[in-house]
Amino acid sequence: MESINFNFAGCVEITGQGVKSLSEYLQRLTSLRSINLNFVWCWRIPDQGLKSLSEILQGLTSLKSIRLNFAECTKITDQGLKSVSESLQRLTSLQSIDLNFQQCLLITDQGLKSLSEILLRLTLLKSIDFNFHQCKKITDQGMKSLRDSIQGLSFLQTVNFNFSSGAQI
């Protein structure tokens, strides 16, 4: 299998344990090239769920495209975003990253900093799409850390950022 798409949008009873179970399944799909996981409005998923997923993702070294949607998962914090970031840095074949953490109100500048620190290690990256719309704890400093990291990525073809929280680049 080269591509997988799971849409759990609005499944409000999914917890970190459900994400862990899915992660255990994904672990066996070592030839995956594209993954799309949608957990929008699954507000019971905590950082531990992202950590479980991240531990598996880092072993899927054939991935070229990753799309994770955790919009309005309000228990996710900087630690969850850091777990995702750490797994991404091991995926050196990645060409496209699409992360949606819209209205994850506990994500701050520190979460963006952990994400920005890994971008320069992804030398094949061509497309970035980040959505942190209404993450009200993100300030100008968080935006600056992302801006500074993408300035060194001369090989990017597409960059989309959605913040709309008042922070300025």
User: In angstroms, rounded to a whole number, what is the distance separating the alpha carbons of residues 153 and 150?
Assistant: 5
Write down the pLDDT at residue 152: 75
Band (169; pLDDT cuts 50, 70, 90): low
Report if pTM > 0.85.
yes
Rounded CA separation 58/90 (Å): 6
Q: What is the pLDDT of residues 44-96, one digit of tens each?
A: 999 999 999 999 999 999 999 999 999 999 999 999 999 999 999 999 999 99
Q: Which domains does the chain have, with CATH numbers?
A: 3-162 (3.80.10.10)
The owner of tokens 């409000």 is 12
Q: How far apart are CA 33 and CA 91, in angstroms?
A: 11
Q: Higher pLDDT residue, 121 or 79? A: 79
pLDDT value at residue 165 = 57
What whole-number distance in Å separates Cα of residue 45 and Cα of residue 70?
9
Q: What is the DSSP letter of 17?
A: H
- Ordered DSSP codes for 42-74: -TT--HHHHHHHHHHHTT-TT--EEEEE-TT-T
Stated as kind and residue range, the H or E segment containing 129 is strand 127-131
Q: Report in angstroms the alpha-carbon separations of 106 from 99, 134, 136, 160, 168.
A: 16, 11, 8, 22, 19
- Please give the pLDDT value at position 59: 93
Please provide residue 155's backbone torsions phi and psi, each rounded to the nearest 5 degrees.
Answer: -90, -5
pLDDT over threshold 90, residue 130: yes
Largest CA distance in the chain: 42
The answer, yes or no, to whether residue 164 has pLDDT greater than 80, is no
Dist. CA 46–CA 43, nearest whole Å: 8
Strands 65-69 and 96-100: parallel
Share of the chain above pLDDT 70, in %: 97
Give which of 43, 53, 45 is closest to 22, Cα–Cα. 53
Query: CA angle, 144 as apex, 95 and 54 as ends, to 5°?
Result: 45
pLDDT on residue 1: 86
Lowest mean pLDDT among 3-17, 42-56, 93-107, 144-158: 144-158
| pLDDT at position 137 over 60 | yes
pLDDT average, residue stretch 17-42: 96
